[in-house]
Every structure is written in structure tokens, then in C-alpha cells.
Structure 1
Amino acid sequence: MAEAALAIEGLVTGYDRRDVLTGISLDLPDGALVTVVGPNGHGKTTLLRAISGLLPTRRGSIRLFGKKLAGLAPHQVAAAGIVHVPQGDLLFPQMSVHENLLMGAYLENNQAVIRRRLEEVEALLPKLAERRDQLASSLSGGERRMVGIGRGLMMGGQVMLIDEPSLGLAPIIIEQVYEVIARLKASGRTILLVEENPARVADLADAIHLLDNGRIVWSGPPHDLLERDELLETYLGG
């Protein structure tokens, strides 16, 4: 079995005085794509925010290749190797595609490394090279999602956290986004992906975790979940 790139044990976190996650434990093997699914508002995005240091770890532990992340500031977590591609992308609308990509490399001072990463991103996402000088505000939803992923790749990093990449997109655009994610996995990237629809990751994810009310209620291969009608109906509405 591959080494756990990311190991989470007994994670408790939330907002103000309310706990949202009440004891999450999961491992993300090196080179794997693992997906977390579940109803809206039950802690999926909270999990990614906790890993990336945007929320405090109240109890439990988060380790990246054995290194403790809990307690680090977000920029320290990023420097350690966690890349967070947030829900909705959060691009800089009045910056060009090229400028948005460069913002992903803000922790890197070596210009040769930045150029190499940019070449790799534009090779993986050739449409971004075509839109290089275009303002982010003028892009389609699918193109914005690609820039968000590309900006994340510009950070380098060891583990990518991708939050609901299909949110708000037309079906044909969702297919294009998942083609990119499949290429990321094929290139050896380690990915923790949040998604609402388990069918979208059935042939892509190595494992899937079903999260409900701040706890993981089921874990296993994606196709096993799709065969469990009672689970799908209870937690995901069918």
C-alpha cells in the first residue's frame, strides 16, 4: 500500500463555538485520488479549509508525509506542500489569465522554476495559453475553473485539495474539467477531491468517503457506493 501523503485522525473543527466536523479520520495515499461526497452543508468544504489552515484544528491531527500541519498558518501549510483550489475559484477578475497563474507561484522566488511550472500548466491546459492576455472577468465558467486549477498547479506542492470543480457548470463543461483532473491523476498528482455526485468519480477515484453531519459514515470503492441504493437515497437523495 502506498504511503499516506495526508493522514487525518480524529479531526474536530468548526466555526465560532459550533463544531462542524466531529471526528474525521482518513488517509490519502501518495499518488491517489480520493473523493469526499455528502449533502450540502455537512462539512465537505470545512474539511478542506481545516487541512489548508483556514480553520483551527480543535482536536485531532493532520499530517503531510508525517509533518504536523495543525496549528500552522495558511501560508505555512501552502509552503509545506498543500495546494487548495477553492470552490468558485476566487480569481482576480481584473487580472489577466497569465497574471492569475503567476499569483499561484507567490511563494516561489526562483524565476526558472516559475517559468517551468508555467510551461507545464500551459501544456496541460492549452486553452490557458490561448487566453493568456485575456482578463479573468471575461472568461466562461469552465475557463475560470481551468485557471483556478492552473493557479493551484503553479504552487507546486505535494497534495491538491479541489473543492467541487463541477459546481454551477453545464454538463459538457463538467466533462472537460474532469478530463483535466484525470490527466492530473495520470501525471502522478495526489488529490483530495470534494464532489456532490459520486457517479462523476466512479471511474476516477481510488476511494470514496461519504460524509454526513461532520462524520464519515461510509468508505470504500466508488462503484460499491453506487450499488448501495439505500445509502444514496438516505444521504444523497438517490
Structure 2
Amino acid sequence: MAGALLKIDNVSAGYHGQDVLRGLSLTVEEGNLVAIVGPNGHGKTTLLRAISGLLRLTGGSIQLGERRIDRLRPDQIVAAGVVHVPQGDMLFPEMTVLENLQMGAYLPSASAGMAQRLEEVYTLLPKLKERHHQVASTLSGGERRMVGIGRGLMADARLLLLDEPSLGLAPIIIDQIYEVISALRASGRTILLVEESAARVADKADRIHLLDHGEFVWSGAGPELMARPEILATYLGG
């Protein structure tokens, strides 16, 4: 039986002396997809930034497997197996799709198996193989988002952090992105996903945590959340 891959214990973090996260605790089991939902501006992205080392904690600890990682540099956290796919595209616009993907395997630990992982990415995202020599700036929004996810996979992640992968995309493209995420989940990858819409993840996540003003106000299974209209109305506007 798989155990906990990520353990967040009583974590606080923020900006300019003001905590955005206030004593959060969270466990992500290996092979699970866990979703963080909640209103914009209430700490979801801040939590991912804290996990990936882009933001230092003011309290608590973060552990990956048996190793504490919150005191490591961001590059050391990547090397430990945590890959953060941020909001938006964040690509190198004048590089090709292939070159962007190869940038995901820049660490020595990832470069050794780069060719094999590239084929795995192309199998999962066949559109990227069709576009592998195309410059990133000429891709559609959905294609750019897929390149971002593919680049994250090239790093051979143990834990994949996805920050609002549907942001700014048309509904039909969002469906395609979530088909990819479902395939990743089915392949056994461990994913921590941030999303504003609970409906998009209700039938995909093993567990959902509702974050409001830097604190978890509800946790449970997706169907349970969708059956609580008072919670949806209070925190998610629907």
C-alpha cells in the first residue's frame, strides 16, 4: 500500500511580513491526485510556491517522503522530485516545442533518461510531436499549456504541482487539458492541483481541500463537496 509522499505540517508563509497561509496541514498519498480549490487571491498559488521553495516558510515544515525539503533551494527541491508547472504558459517563446521540453531535463539526474521521457511525453501529448519544430510563440493557448505540462514531466517528477492549468482557456481546450491530467493520474503519478472551479475536479481528484483566507475550511471527496450547495455558494460563488 502506498504511503504519504508529501506532508505539509502547520505551514505558514506569505509576503512582506504578512502571512497568507496560516497553519496549513496537508498529506498527499503517493499515486493520488489532490486538488486545492478556492477563491482567487486566498493562498492557492502561495501554497505551491512554498512547496517548490520559491517562498520561504515562516512556520511549519514540508516533507517529501522521508526528507524535509522546506530548507532546500528551489533547484534542490526539483532534484528531489518536485516539479512546479506555474500558471500561464511560462515558455521560452523563441524556442521550439522540442527545445522547451528539453529544458525540463536540465538537471543531470533528469538528462540521463531524456530520450525515453521525451517519447513518453509525445505518447501522452501527440500534438507536441506534430509541433516539435514549431516555435512556442506561434502555438495556440492550449498547445502552450500542454508544452508546459510536458516540460514538467521531462524532469522525472515524483510530485507534479499544477497551478490552474485551465486558466484563460476555452471550454473545449479545458476538457482536453483535463483528459491529459486524468491520463497522468491513471498512470500512477502523484499530482497536487490548484483549481478555482470545484466542478472541474470533483470527479477526478482523490481528495479536495477548500482554501479560504489561507486556511482549509473543508476537506473531503469531490461528490461530497458538490452535494453541499451552501459551501459552494459561500466560498466558490455557485
Tell me whether 61-70 or 103-112 shows the greater mean CA deviation.
103-112
**For residue 186 of structure 1, what is the aligned residue in structure 2?**
186
On the 8 A contact 1:83/1:160 being kept in 2, the answer is: yes
On the 8 A contact 2:110/2:156 being kept in 1, the answer is: no
3-state DSSP class of the match of 2:113? helix
Give aligned-pair identity as a percent.
Answer: 64
- Evaluate the alpha carbon distance shift between residue 214 and residue 95 of structure 1 in structure 2; reply closer, same or farther with a 3 A threshold: same
**For residue 173 of structure 1, what is the aligned residue in structure 2?**
173
**For residue 149 of structure 2, what is the aligned residue in structure 1?**
149
**For residue 19 of structure 2, what is the aligned residue in structure 1?**
19
On the 8 A contact 2:79/2:109 being kept in 1, the answer is: no
Amino acid at match of 1:171: P
- Evaluate the alpha carbon distance shift between residue 31 and residue 233 of structure 1 in structure 2; reply closer, same or farther with a 3 A threshold: same
RMSD value, Cα: 1.1
Aligned residues: 238
Q: Does the alignment pair 1:234 with 2:218?
A: no
On the 8 A contact 2:13/2:59 being kept in 1, the answer is: yes
C-alpha separation in 2, matches of 1:155 and 1:76: 12
C-alpha separation in 1, matches of 2:226 and 2:152: 30
Amino acid at match of 1:131: R
Q: How does 1:82-161 map to 2 (within 5 A)?
A: 82-108=82-108, 112-161=112-161
3-state DSSP class of the match of 1:10? strand
On the 8 A contact 2:110/2:155 being kept in 1, the answer is: no
On the 8 A contact 1:11/1:59 being kept in 2, the answer is: yes
**1:190-231 C-alpha deviation (Å, 9 max, x unpaired):** 000000111111211000000000000000001101111111
TM-score of the pair, normalised by structure 1: 0.98
Amino acid at match of 1:82: V
**1:59-116 C-alpha deviation (Å, 9 max, x unpaired):** 1010000210111110000000001010003000000000000000000367551111
On the 8 A contact 1:165/1:177 being kept in 2, the answer is: yes
C-alpha separation in 2, matches of 1:179 and 1:9: 31
Q: How does 1:44-63 map to 2 (within 5 A)?
A: 44-63=44-63
**For residue 37 of structure 2, what is the aligned residue in structure 1?**
37
Amino acid at match of 2:28: L
On the 8 A contact 1:108/1:114 being kept in 2, the answer is: no
**For residue 10 of structure 2, what is the aligned residue in structure 1?**
10
| Runs (4+) off by over 6 Å | none
On the 8 A contact 1:142/1:169 being kept in 2, the answer is: yes
Q: Tell me the CA shift for residue 15 of structure 1.
A: 0.8
- Evaluate the alpha carbon distance shift between residue 116 and residue 220 of structure 1 in structure 2; reply closer, same or farther with a 3 A threshold: same
3-state DSSP class of the match of 1:101? helix
**For residue 77 of structure 1, what is the aligned residue in structure 2?**
77
Q: Tell me the CA shift for residue 174 of structure 1.
A: 0.2
Q: Tell me the CA shift for residue 58 of structure 1.
A: 1.1
C-alpha separation in 1, matches of 2:186 and 2:212: 30
- Evaluate the alpha carbon distance shift between residue 92 and residue 110 of structure 1 in structure 2; reply closer, same or farther with a 3 A threshold: closer
C-alpha separation in 2, matches of 1:99 and 1:42: 35
Q: Does the alignment pair 1:205 with 2:205?
A: yes
C-alpha separation in 1, matches of 2:108 and 2:31: 23
